[in-house]
Structure 1
């Protein structure tokens, strides 16, 4: 009985270590995505997503109505590439919550967005990723965007 418990504990430890490693791989993919985003590296961005990536944003209009906006990835890429090099922008990820089941992962990342050194807005990104050929790729990204009720970690 003692041997069975030891084998079970050993197997559980191996499983948890593998899960931790995969969570770190998912986190690394998202960090690489934002590194390429900040560098306006559209080639790297394209390599980190699936061919049919879905991009959406949820916000509130001037009347307080929730709005779901669908974005075309190619237009997103053009917009990123067209930002003048003298403009600074940074999406600061504040935390990561990652769940994985086999070849599917979800990552929830609260963020702050800064433009030209000034706070612009906050929200949450929700990433859906798929593991293809041992590499995590983003297949769906939806975010929220708001200017109010932001718990800012940085100063203006």
Structure 2
């Protein structure tokens, strides 16, 4: 019974890390963002093409049309430096209101002692309109009682109409 309670406690703690990750992204707080990662953690962002609506049962792409593009593969430190540079470049300039949100109810967490993985759906809106959606796959480690992100892979697909948008990774 204790093992089940511990896993439930760890699952809640991991989902809290995921929420804090998104809170830091939405606040453009790179210090907070970095605090959720282990040193030298890896980050990969891949995009699926072509753009499709989330409920794409009516508009499936053919196998010949579907491709995966690696947008970035780096360490978290280098990614945070890129975010800082982008923040400085956008400072004082108008732009869309960006909001990223996880689906914590749809998040699947697997735990093996001090190691865990989480498959977490998410969506990103620009001025309230869905821009892209996908899955964040987190690899986490528990160090000194605290869960930290060791690696993160984001797979996303744009919704139709945003094909030429390069404003986000």
Shared fold per TM-score greater than 0.5:
yes
Deviation at 1:77, TM superposition (A): 3.1
Gaps in structure 2 of 5+ consecutive residues: 51-64, 161-169
Q: Which residue of 2 aligns with 1:152?
A: none
Matched, 1:77 2:86: no
Instruction: Name which of structure 1's ranges 68-77 and 87-96 shifts more when overlaid on structure 2.
Output: 68-77
Of residues 84, 94, 99 in structure 2, which corresponds to 1:90? 99
Gaps in structure 1 of 5+ consecutive residues: 1-12, 150-156
Considering only CA atoms, is the larger Rg found in Structure 1 or Structure 2? 1
Q: Which residue of 2 aligns with 1:106?
A: 117
Matched, 1:30 2:30: no
Of residues 127, 152, 155 in structure 2, which corresponds to 1:141? 152
Deviation at 1:60, TM superposition (A): 3.3
Q: CA RMSD in A?
A: 2.3
In structure 2, relative to structure 1, the CA distance for the partners of 1:77 and 1:103 (3 Å cut) is farther
Higher relative contact order (CA 8 A, sep 6+): 2
In structure 2, relative to structure 1, the CA distance for the partners of 1:141 and 1:23 (3 Å cut) is same
Contact 2:130 2:159 in 1 (8 A): no
Alignment of 1:42-57 (within 5 A): 42-57=30-45
> Given the two structures, how large is their TM-score scaled by the length of structure 1?
0.77
Q: Which residue of 1 aligns with 2:142?
A: 131
Contact 1:90 1:114 in 2 (8 A): yes
Aligned residues: 137
> Given the two structures, how large is their TM-score scaled by the length of structure 2?
0.71
Q: SS of 1:45's equivalent?
A: helix
